[in-house]
Amino acid sequence: MNQTDSKKIVIAIDGHSSCGKSTVAKQLAKQLGYLYLDSGAMYRAVTLFALRNQLAKNGTVDEQGLIDRLEKIKIEFHWNEATRQNETYLNGENVEEEIRQLPVANHVSPVATIKEVRQAMVKQQQELGKNKGIVMDGRDIGTVVFPQAELKIFMTASPEVRAQRRYDELTAKGQQVQLDEILKNVEDRDRIDSGRKESPLMRADDALILDNSYLNREEQLKWAVERAKERIENC
């Protein structure tokens, strides 16, 4: 199935941290022949910029300092033929690996609560989705970025399951991490993301819930593809 076979829609996938949103979104986009945009990578890139410029440390952020430098942050996505996926670039540098590491994870939620940061990222995201045929994942895609998306999915799983998945992912890359530290990070991010004033994490009223605590990747993708085909056929 690809874009030429059907009408194009916007698919918004929201949900808690480390519940596999990006994996499902990437696979779904590939199945449909749609563009994939990882909004979380954009906030992670801003966070990396803040860390590199001493605007974030020990879990705190110099909000005004970061706001004053937003115009100096340019985020792009470039296709990597070798990995067959989009990779994140910060001011011309490939930062795909660095933004996935724990120092960024520990600071991304407070960065993402800043109103001006979210406004700047949302503006870029909406521009990319104007022509539809896009799958985007994050925490406020169906509620703020694309409230008119034809298909909205809200993904979740228990904190313990998500922490274990994140632990397995990081240790597979050779990183030395502690499971209890990752679980604390997951729970902290849930609290911050859901409680923030600017674009809090919440399920859109018309979003379909996908609890993948006990589903493998193939089962999740099958469910998402079926829902997407239903919406496309009914457009």
* DSSP track, 52-113: HTTSEETTEE-HHHHHHTGGG--EEEEEETTTTEEEEEETTEE-TTGGGSHHHHHHHHHHHT
The H-assigned helical ranges of the chain are 21-32, 39-52, 63-68, 102-112, 115-128, 159-172, 179-195, 217-233
Q: pTM, whole model, 2 decimals?
A: 0.74
**Does residue 137 carry a pLDDT above 70?**
yes
Residue 209, classed as helix, strand or coil, is strand
pLDDT for residue 228: 97
At 151, the pLDDT band (50, 70, 90 cuts) reads: very high
**196 phi, psi to nearest 5 deg:** -65, 150
At 198, the pLDDT band (50, 70, 90 cuts) reads: confident
**Does residue 37 carry a pLDDT above 90?**
no
Residue 30, classed as helix, strand or coil, is helix
- Cβ–Cβ under 8 Å, residues 28 and 152: no
pLDDT for residue 48: 98
Count of other CB atoms within 10 angstroms of residue 105: 21
**Does residue 83 carry a pLDDT above 90?**
no
Mean pLDDT computed over every residue of the chain: 91
Residue 231, classed as helix, strand or coil, is helix
**60 phi, psi to nearest 5 deg:** -115, 160
Tell me how far apart the alpha carbons of residues 183 and 221 are, in angstroms, rounded to a whole number. 25
pLDDT-above-70 percentage for the chain: 97
Mean pLDDT of all residues in 201-212: 94
End-to-end CA distance of the chain: 16
Tell me how far apart the alpha carbons of residues 116 and 93 are, in angstroms, rounded to a whole number. 23
